Structure 1
């Protein structure tokens, strides 16, 4: 069995395309989710269309109906996730139409997601994506009237179908969900490196009540534990995907999140290979799904990390170009010569 057929056989629908380790499917995610077996997915990482006031070409619900629309996905999300699985969703905020006042739609959505009788999800932790290169917006309030500042933060919610409160307090047992911050350690700062080398720092009790041991910060632990702020500028312009879109005169997906986001959560929330002794999943290694595939960056990252991947996307034009992430220039050229729209299956991998 090839790696892509292992994932494809989870679905009744034929894939739009397949690559080593995964497949992308065209259709409404609400319907495609119904094809998946129970507890077959280890991680969902996605960025749905936001509830913006202005309609985007990729389609987005208005604020009035957004939460009802989003909640329609949740029963199936819960069903397909493993008990140890995670649902990571990047969801941006918005201003109310015509007013310099923030909408609270995403907070109201969160309340519904974690309501025991409605969404039934659990908020494991909230994260925030800070884009220091974000252009000043909204234009009316920031650029024209100058009464607000640039909205450069986006919420990312890490939700789980269940939290095992009993095992969470038992030594040696892994609480739900699967997670390990040692897989996402960051490089030490220069000052921390100096501190480790010298072994000298101001130990003792702090005003906060913390009592810092004299050796607490002098240990070499291969890196520092990251916080819940992901800083990443969404300014990449020379990736393989974008170069291929320009080369062959295709429009790229207009709303792509930076690779740091799916990369962090794939590393954090799924175990690394090899998977010889891993028997927690439906398949022989973790399956990562993006239910709003877009340019399929999540699938590309998952493949590079040795996980299985799946992507659901409704718009064919985005599926056409998302294939470029997995193809060489020569492969794209040949496929386009054979057919302008039917790329078929392939197995080559290129960098993002």
Structure 2
């Protein structure tokens, strides 16, 4: 394990994750991390350059990781995991491996499942190709699940930090102070003043719509200028930003154990949070430097 670089708010470690979590130097972070946000390698049937396990081996690996990460999480901290979908090899049938891995992850460390989110990627290419674009017997798979869990039923969280702009209709309602109140067919009784309070925004749903369609950015420019191939599975900044705002406060500590191109570190730094990232691939780490204006030696 070694420190690849530091910024004003964060540190990027280069090394094998399991060895990093077991190292004496990293032990100082035990119980100090407020949010662990990551997207582990998916249990895909076809091997990717960034690595992925399969079958029971994947489940066992993720379960072991759950136990090790728990030691580093603060008592009111959260873990947020993006879990992609996978398909049975050679068949137009979805695999249940990701779900089995999730349940095993929860049970291995006795986490509480706080809420399920869906990331709808509007720019995702049609897949799985064999069944969607060739034989035309499935529709494209354009979402992944994001699972929020913690040690306790009441981790730190505040949805006031992620309010969305009111719709035009809601703005008009607040202005006119009038709407159709009364009992609905659903048997809900809407009071005459139930929706007249201006809360400065609407509470978002658990469906996050975001596309990673950025063609120009400091990160991509840096990679091009330095002959670095960009990370093949980057996520949009919107995802880590949403959960960092929702589940942490300024100067809290955020960890991405699969740092990759360090989208999480960039989001944390921009929101005045401290961050740690771990990545085994040195090329990914080198490219991630393009996300920061000031790198400390």
Helix, strand or coil at the partner of 1:16: strand
Cα distance in 2, alignment partners of residues 113 and 237 from structure 1:
35
Q: Is the 8 A contact 2:221 2:290 kept in 1?
A: no
**2:76 paired with 1:84:** yes
Cα distance in 2, alignment partners of residues 327 and 220 from structure 1:
38
Cα distance in 2, alignment partners of residues 292 and 230 from structure 1:
21
**Equivalent residue number for residue 36 of structure 1:** 27
1:147-186 maps to which residues of 2 (within 5 A)? 147-163=137-153, 176-186=154-164
Question: How far is 1:248 from its partner?
Answer: 2.4
**2:50 paired with 1:62:** no
Match of 2:9 among 8, 15, 21: 21
Runs of 4+, deviation exceeding 3 Å = none
Helix, strand or coil at the partner of 1:20: coil
Helix, strand or coil at the partner of 2:57: helix
Stretches of structure 1 that go unaligned for 5 or more consecutive residues are 1-12, 164-175, 274-284, 329-344, 348-352
Cα distance in 1, alignment partners of residues 135 and 179 from structure 2:
48
Helix, strand or coil at the partner of 2:89: coil
Stretches of structure 2 that go unaligned for 5 or more consecutive residues are none
Question: How far is 1:346 from its partner?
Answer: 2.2
**2:121 paired with 1:131:** yes
- 1:32-51 deviation per Cα after TM superposition (whole angstroms, max 9, x unaligned): 12333330211111111101
TM-score by length of 2: 0.95
CA RMSD of the aligned region, Å? 1.4
Paired residues in the alignment total: 293
**Equivalent residue number for residue 106 of structure 1:** 98
**Equivalent residue number for residue 303 of structure 1:** 269
TM-score by length of 1: 0.80
**Equivalent residue number for residue 181 of structure 2:** 203
Cα distance in 2, alignment partners of residues 73 and 111 from structure 1:
13
Q: Is the 8 A contact 1:287 1:309 kept in 2?
A: yes
**Equivalent residue number for residue 219 of structure 1:** 197
Helix, strand or coil at the partner of 1:177: coil
Q: Is the 8 A contact 2:87 2:95 kept in 1?
A: yes
Cα distance in 2, alignment partners of residues 59 and 327 from structure 1:
30
Q: Is the 8 A contact 1:52 1:63 kept in 2?
A: no
Helix, strand or coil at the partner of 1:158: strand
Helix, strand or coil at the partner of 2:115: strand
Cα distance in 2, alignment partners of residues 14 and 99 from structure 1:
43
Q: Is the 8 A contact 2:79 2:149 kept in 1?
A: yes
Question: How far is 1:249 from its partner?
Answer: 2.1
